[in-house]
């Protein structure tokens, strides 16, 4: 039995919830006020990502009742996503010490991995690697990094939504082409939940996502990728390729800041996409460029991995090389003052 009508309902619900959250934020002064390290210049309501969370999670019981998705997968996705959303919501409305946030992140990751069965064997450079408990530990760190990098990359209008939509639609296409149609439904539900929110978040944004939404997207996309690995390790590599814009920018920036001795949890504007938005004077061209990179570069590479036998790890390297070049070009991880000084010299 199919319930594709549910897809349209989720998009509408997300749209209406976002509108309600915007009114609530305005009425209760839950506003993101621009500061020196902000990438926006107009006070804007925040917390709209809760609409994505609620719309997606409300769909899971129905999906489970119809047995379209297995119970362990629903527990992994729903439990981990809900916990991260709660932590993000609390942090949006107050402050949670970094160590407690991190503990919660690892708890959510451990929960997801328990229900998924850990990390399966992976094909790596032509070899089959059985990871065991070491792989599960690495997978936990991977999930924690995914949810945090998504939070870091949610810094300009529409970018986090566009990345999630492009990655999920790309994987839905690859699932269909490779015969793994049973994996399509959850990413498609997430696409519609994000699309309803994007109607309010597309540049110029009328509401921001907030930590509850960005962290939720990061952990859910990470869980989707590990779920896919159990069907085929090539599908995991495809997820890593399609999420490459965020992974490369966030990781390159983090490494550069760590080497310099910066406090990595301190707010900053040194990601490549932030430098790019200031260079072009607008968020829109950068957000559209992310969509273009996904459609015209990353998706073709992912198709080569899943459909034409390109080694997954090799595919990741091929996909990431131009992204690293872009990170260097747009000064990812550099000090903003130093960059400005160099530009005026």
Could you tell me which residues come within 8 angstroms of residue 82 by beta carbon, excluding any fewer than 6 positions away?
A: 53, 57
Query: What are the pLDDT digits (tens) for 287-318?
Result: 999 999 999 999 999 999 999 999 999 999 99
Q: Indicate the average pLDDT of the chain.
A: 91
Could you tell me which residues come within 8 angstroms of residue 272 by beta carbon, excluding any fewer than 6 positions away?
A: 249, 252, 253, 326, 327, 329, 330, 331, 332
Cα separation, 300 vs 163, whole angstroms: 16
- The arithmetic mean of pLDDT across residues 315-337, rounded, is 93
Position 345 scores a pLDDT of: 31
Pick the residue with more confidence: 40 or 135? 135
What's the pLDDT band for 343 if we cut at 50, 70, 90? very low
User: How many CA atoms within 13 Å lie on the side-chain side of 206?
Assistant: 11
Binding residues for Mg(2+): 151, 211
Position 39 scores a pLDDT of: 62
Q: How far is CA 251 from CA 148, 245, 256, 264, 272, in A?
A: 11, 10, 9, 11, 11
Q: Which domain holds residue 320?
A: 5-344
| Contact indicator for 149, 247 with CB cutoff of 8 Å | yes
3-state secondary structure of 32: strand
Position 37 scores a pLDDT of: 58
Cα separation, 211 vs 238, whole angstroms: 26
Could you tell me which residues come within 8 angstroms of residue 337 by beta carbon, excluding any fewer than 6 positions away?
A: none
Q: How far is CA 19 from CA 26, 46, 51, 341, in A?
A: 11, 12, 9, 42
> 52 pairs with which residues across the strands?
none
Q: Is the pLDDT of residue 115 over 80?
A: yes
With vertex at residue 240, the alpha carbon angle to CA 205 and CA 312, rounded to the nearest 5 degrees, is 155
Query: What are the pLDDT digits (tens) for 174-231?
Result: 999 999 999 999 999 999 999 999 999 999 999 999 899 999 999 999 999 999 999 9
Q: Of 277, 273, 275, 251, whose CA–CA distance to 264 is shortest?
A: 251
Position 341 scores a pLDDT of: 40
Number of domains in the chain: 1
Position 342 scores a pLDDT of: 42
Question: Percent of the chain scored above 70 by pLDDT?
Answer: 94
- The arithmetic mean of pLDDT across residues 97-103, rounded, is 90
Tokens of 226: 């590990």
3-state secondary structure of 36: coil
Binding residues: 151, 211
Position 51 scores a pLDDT of: 97
Query: What are the pLDDT digits (tens) for 2-60?
Result: 567 788 899 999 999 999 999 998 988 888 776 655 566 678 898 999 999 999 999 99
Residue with tokens 């970094």: 98
Position 85 scores a pLDDT of: 96
Query: What are the pLDDT digits (tens) for 249-272?
Result: 999 999 999 998 887 777 788 999
Strand 44-45 to 31-32 pairing: antiparallel
| Contact indicator for 45, 208 with CB cutoff of 8 Å | yes
DSSP string, 306-344: HHS---HHHHHHHHHHHHHHHHHHTTTT--HHHHHHHHH
Count CB neighbours of 44 within 10 A: 22
Position 245 scores a pLDDT of: 98
User: How many CA atoms within 13 Å lie on the side-chain side of 262?
Assistant: 18
Pick the residue with more confidence: 233 or 123? 233
User: How many CA atoms within 13 Å lie on the side-chain side of 69?
Assistant: 25
Could you tell me which residues come within 8 angstroms of residue 11 by beta carbon, excluding any fewer than 6 positions away?
A: 192, 193, 195, 196
Q: Is the pLDDT of residue 286 over 50?
A: yes
């Amino acid at each position: 039995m199919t319930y594709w009508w549910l897809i349209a309902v989720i998009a509408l619900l997300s749209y209406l919830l976002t509108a309600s959250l915007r009114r609530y934020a305005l009425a209760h002064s839950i506003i993101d006020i621009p500061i020196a390290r902000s990438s926006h210049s107009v006070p804007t309501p925040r917390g709209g990502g809760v609409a994505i969370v609620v719309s997606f999670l409300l769909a899971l019981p129905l999906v489970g009742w119809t047995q379209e998705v297995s119970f362990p997968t629903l527990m992994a996705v729903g439990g981990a996503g809900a916990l991260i959303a709660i932590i993000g919501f609390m942090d949006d409305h107050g402050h949670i010490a970094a160590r407690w946030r991190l503990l919660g992140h690892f708890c959510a990751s451990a929960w997801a991995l328990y229900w998924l069965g850990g990390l399966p064997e992976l094909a790596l450079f032509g070899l089959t690697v059985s990871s065991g408990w070491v792989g599960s530990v690495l997978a936990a760190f991977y999930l924690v990094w995914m949810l945090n990098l998504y939070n870091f990359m949610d810094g300009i209008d529409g970018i986090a939504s566009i990345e999630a939509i492009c990655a999920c639609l790309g994987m839905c296409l690859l699932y269909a082409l490779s015969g793994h149609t049973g994996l399509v439904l959850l990413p498609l539900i997430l696409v519609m939940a994000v699309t309803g929110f994007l109607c309010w978040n597309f540049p110029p944004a009328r509401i921001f996502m907030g930590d509850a939404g960005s962290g939720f997207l990061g952990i859910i996309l990470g869980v989707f990728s590990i779920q896919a690995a159990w069907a085929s390790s090539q599908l995991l590599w495809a997820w890593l390729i399609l999420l490459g814009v965020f992974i490369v920018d966030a990781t390159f920036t983090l490494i550069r800041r760590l080497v310099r001795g910066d406090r990595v949890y301190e707010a900053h504007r040194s990601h490549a996409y932030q430098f790019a938005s200031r260079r072009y004077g607008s968020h829109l061209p950068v957000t559209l460029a992310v969509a273009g990179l996904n459609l015209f570069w990353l998706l073709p590479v992912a198709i080569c991995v899943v459909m034409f036998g390109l080694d997954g790890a090799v595919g990741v390297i091929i996909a990431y090389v131009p992204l690293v070049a872009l990170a260097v070009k747009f000064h990812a991880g550099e000090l903003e003052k130093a960059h400005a000084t160099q530009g005026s010299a």
